Every structure is written in C-alpha cells, then in structure tokens.
Amino acid sequence: MGKYNVHELAKMIDHSLLHPTMTDADLIRECDVARKYDVASVCIKPYAVPLAKERLTGSGVKVGTVIGFPHGNPAIGTKVFEAEQVCRDGAVEVDMVVNIGKVLGRDWDYVTREIREVLQVVHGNGALLKVIFENDFLPADEYKIRLCEICSELKVDFVKTSTGYGFVKGPDGKYSYKGATDHDLKLMREHAAPEVQVKAAGGIRTLDDLLRVKELGVTRVGATATVVILEDAKKRYGS
C-alpha cells in the first residue's frame, strides 16, 4: 500500500452530474458509479435530487445539489426557496453560487445577507453549505479574500472555487476557463477559517490533480472523471 488508500481519496470526490445534456438514464447510471466507488457524494441537478436519494439509499454516498447555478443571479428569496426545495427533496449538501455582480460591485452587505439567509435554511435542515465564488470572473485576489472572510464569519461549511461552467469570453470570441488554480486554492485555504473546508472544482481530471490539490489543503473536489481518477488510484496504491 502506498502513501494513500483508495477509500480516502474516493471520499474526497463529489461526483458531478450537472451537465445540461445529461438524461435521467445518464443520472441513474452515474449514481450507480458513485455507489460502486463509494465517493463522498453526487452533485446532481436539482430536479433529480429525489432520484438520487432513492438510487443511493443504503449507500455511503451523500446526495448533493446546486442552487443559483451556474451564474448566481436569482434573487435572494429565490435562492432561499431553491434551498428549501432541495433540502425537502433529500439533499444533504448544497452548493450555492454567489451573486457575482454584487461581489464585483463590492456590495458586501448584500453578499453577506444572501449567504446568511441560504445558510439558515440549509443548516436548519441539517445539510452542509458550500459557497461557490466562480474565481474565473473575479479579476483580483481582494474579492476572493473578502468572500473567504464573510464565509468564515457566517460559518459556512465549504468555500469552493468554481462551477465548472464559468466560461470567460476572450478577445477572439472564444470561451474558456481556468477552474481551480493552485494560486486560488492556496489563497482560499489561507484566508478561510480553519473549520471552513476548501473544495476545488473545474479541471480536476487526473489522480495527480487530486493529489496536488490535497497537498494544498483541499478536502473535496468536484469531478466528472471519477472513474479515471479512482481506477488509477487502485493501480498506484492497491484496491
């Protein structure tokens, strides 16, 4: 056995099932993959939370989902309603996208109120809250640092880098994104309170990616390449 065991690494992964084109058949198949590899959770499209809850009953895989996804633009009341709905449907982990325009406008009172109101609902239902910054849209570290401070003050469970869908339009008209960079992960781990965990999402596609961010203090990753990562882990460290 090597430095890590496969189960430890599997329990870092939120198996991401959020692509708009995924059908119910796709979601069922991928819930079964999550169960087979005993990952931390699935992060499934909100309407499919009941499906995932039923499919994963009796397993060690938690049901997670997203709200305000992927651009963070719904009104606070709408995000609160979404949070109430997904918790009622069986989600025990909720990833919310902040209002990115409000962050860029430095309307920190609004941002704080939004996170606080969603957090009250999520924690009131015994679930965990992960706050997505969408770092590709934030041009300076000051925004990320202030978000870490707010999330620490409010005692959210995780701060998270990205949605995986925050594409930035370049001068050539093409869209791209960096996702979870080492710089941002180090920054978030440094400025979030010790009890606030860090989740990396966007670009975690290999076992080496997973191990690299783990060394930076990341405890969860969002991944679609779960099978590739964990099969490689089995080969490297034993099953």
Residues marked as catalytic: 95, 160, 199
Give the DSSP per-residue string, 5-20. -HHHHHTTEEEEE--T
**C-alpha distance across the termini of the chain, in Å:** 9
Output the six-digit token pair for 144. Answer: 């990320």
* Residues 75-98 as b or e (16 or more Cβ within 10 Å = b): ebeebbebbbbbbebbbbbbbbbb
- DSSP code per residue over 127-181: -EEEEE--GGG--SHHHHHHHHHHHHHHT-SEEE---S--PEEPTTS-EE---S-
Q: How far is CA 77 from the centre of its chain?
A: 21
**150 residue type, one letter:** I
